[in-house]
Amino acid sequence: MPDDLSAAGRDLRAYTDTLRPRHGVVRNIHGEWVLLRHGLVVEAALDDERFSSAVSSHLQIPNGLDAAEHTAYRQALDRFLTPEALAPFHEEFRRVAADLVASLPRGVAVDAVSEVGVRFAVRAQSAWLGWPADLEDRLVTWVAENHAATRSGDKSWTLKVAEAFDELIRCVLEPRRSAGREGGADADDVTARLMRTEVNGRPLTDAEIVSVLRNWTGGDLGSIAQCVGVLLHYLATHPELQDRLRSGVPEAELDALIDEILRIDDPFVSNRRVTTCPVTIGGVALPQGARVKLNWTSANRDEAVFGDPDALDPARNASRNLVYGIGRHVCPGRLLATLELRIALQELLTASSSIVLDPRQAAERAVSPVGGWRTVPVVLA
Ligand code: HEM
């Protein structure tokens, strides 16, 4: 049985494409059971009683919670991510995107991931959470460190990066807290409102607030940046689609295209589960306590469901698209992510006449377990 889904330098998609027709479930070098087929990933994601999300000894809110406890936190937190809650930020995101695009050089290579995706994600997120602009460089450094630590598989490095993030968040929380203590005006940004949020009749603890912000930020910064890389690579290699979008398509159509491009090359590779009892899935018997990975990237390319996985067909594939997951842990940030990605693309396309890959430097794939691209050098004209 193939056992290595983590080797550096491989395009994870090409590898899982070769495995999936023969194996629905494979075991990786870390002893985790990786689900590769669409049906199996959906089955595990929907069976949250037997496939628990309590996979980490660290507090993970809401990701690591199960059942009623999870529901209580999601109810309290999802209200920050509804269309109404996000409406006040549309203009701000557009300004952030327009300023960034205006500052990009024309006629020379820029990296779609680090110079466009990461910068945009950090600035948009700071605007959303009410964080000061001078945190930008620290957040950018943190995203890079976080990716490097994740790639290395070195647990002590990952822990150090997590602690660095906690420290960064404390710098954001403290001024809001002391303003409250000193009777100053209560800030009314998203962070301040999160600090006043109650779950089960009591306010969130400090550790819980940090955990929520870590999960929002992890979702937002890392994934948005990777998504921008995937989207710009796709557009740069599909000039006819670029022209069509530049001539203007309705928002809903653009959103559907974004989802479909991300389905073809889903940079948010996998999430973990642990079995709560012996389970047979895909014909493989797993013991209680088995560590399982739901490989969204592979499931999103399952030929049994999508036919040719590279064929762009939003109307046909939307209902089975798993980019934002499925089941009780389905991504609460989907609307925010789609809004940010739509605005970033619109501004990039409006302010350019063409976006092409730099002929002098090849784009480089990210190293597993990070998906998408590490760098995508593009030239804007
Ligand atoms: C940019 C693209 C994004 C992608 C592709 C993505 C994808 C996903 C997926 C597949 C899950 C399911 C996890 C599971 O089943 O274990 C998830 C969960 C989650 N996402 Fe996202 N996400 C994105 C952006 C965001 C944003 C912008 C936020 C918040 C600001 C966010 C916050 C979360 C949280 C908190 C969870 C855990 C939900 C739970 O466990 O109940 N994500 N995301």
Q: What mean pLDDT is predicted for residues 4-14? A: 67
Question: For residue 2, is pLDDT > 60?
Answer: no
Q: What mean pLDDT is predicted for residues 5-29? A: 85
Q: Mean pLDDT over all residues of the chain?
A: 93
368 vs 266, more confident: 266
Could you tell me the two tokens for 279? 């389970």
Percent of the chain's residues with pLDDT above 90: 77
- Give residue 221 CA to ligand 1 midpoint distance, Å: 11
Question: Which residue has a Cα nearest atom 16 of ligand 1?
Answer: 271
Q: What mean pLDDT is predicted for residues 338-366? A: 97
Q: Which atom of ligand 1 lies nearest, measured to the CA of 336?
A: 27
CA distances from 113 to 13, 42, 322, 366 (A): 19, 30, 22, 10
pLDDT at 11: 77
Q: Which atom of ligand 1 lies nearest, measured to the CA of 325?
A: 10
pLDDT at 1: 41
Ranges of H-type helices in 247-333: 251-264, 296-299, 303-306, 314-317
- Give residue 230 CA to ligand 1 midpoint distance, Å: 17
257 vs 183, more confident: 257
Give the side-chain half-sphere CA count within 13 A for 44. Answer: 37
Strands, sheet with 25-27, edge to edge from the N-terminal-most edge strand: 25-27, 33-35, 291-295, 270-275, 51-52
pLDDT, one tens digit per residue, over 75-111 is: 999 999 999 999 999 999 999 999 999 999 999 999 9
Query: To 10 degrees, the CA torsion angle through 210, 213, 219, 225?
Result: -110
Is 51 near ligand 1, meaning CB less than 6 Å away? no
- The vertex-19 CA angle with 18 and 24, nearest 5°, equals 140
Is 336 near ligand 1, meaning CB less than 6 Å away? yes
Question: For residue 343, is pLDDT > 90?
Answer: yes
b (16+ CB within 10 A) / e for 306-323: beebeeeebeebeeebbb
b (16+ CB within 10 A) / e for 262-286: bbbbbbbbbbbbbbbeebebbebeb
Phi and psi dihedrals of 379, rounded to 5? -120, 125
- Give residue 125 CA to ligand 1 midpoint distance, Å: 14
Is 37 near ligand 1, meaning CB less than 6 Å away? no
Is 337 near ligand 1, meaning CB less than 6 Å away? yes
Is 220 near ligand 1, meaning CB less than 6 Å away? yes
Q: Which atom of ligand 1 lies nearest, measured to the CA of 271?
A: 16
pLDDT, one tens digit per residue, over 136-193 is: 899 888 878 887 888 788 889 988 988 888 888 888 898 888 776 665 556 789 999 9
pLDDT at 3: 43
Is 86 near ligand 1, meaning CB less than 6 Å away? no
Q: Which atom of ligand 1 lies nearest, measured to the CA of 65?
A: 40
Question: Which residue has a Cα nearest atom 27 of ligand 1?
Answer: 220
Q: Which atom of ligand 1 lies nearest, measured to the CA of 64?
A: 40
Amino acid in the structure at residue 4: D
pLDDT at 184: 52
Q: Contact at 8 Å (CB) between 41 and 296?
A: yes
pLDDT at 24: 98
Question: For residue 264, is pLDDT > 50?
Answer: yes
Q: Which atom of ligand 1 lies nearest, measured to the CA of 77?
A: 35
Question: For residue 73, is pLDDT > 90?
Answer: yes
Percent of the chain's residues with pLDDT above 70: 95
pLDDT at 219: 67
Question: For residue 4, is pLDDT > 60?
Answer: no
Confidence grade of residue 211 (pLDDT, cut at 50, 70, 90): very high
pLDDT at 183: 56
Q: Contact at 8 Å (CB) between 232 and 376?
A: yes
Question: Which residue has a Cα nearest atom 18 of ligand 1?
Answer: 331
Question: For residue 18, is pLDDT > 50?
Answer: yes
Q: Does domain 12-380 have CATH number 1.10.1660.10?
A: no
pLDDT at 347: 98
pLDDT, one tens digit per residue, over 26-35 is: 999 999 999 9
Q: Quick check: helix, strand or coil at residue 52?
A: strand
Query: To 10 degrees, the CA torsion angle through 143, 145, 148, 149?
Result: -110
Question: Which residue has a Cα nearest atom 43 of ligand 1?
Answer: 331
- Give residue 337 CA to ligand 1 midpoint distance, Å: 9
- Give residue 63 CA to ligand 1 midpoint distance, Å: 9
Q: Which of 381, 253, 267, 252 is nearest to 324 (CA)?
A: 267
| Residue from 331, 339, 340 whose mutation best tests the ligand 1 pocket (most atoms within 8 A of CB) | 331
Interatomic CA distance for residues 328 and 43, integer angstroms: 12
Q: What mean pLDDT is predicted for residues 44-70? A: 96
Q: Which atom of ligand 1 lies nearest, measured to the CA of 215?
A: 35
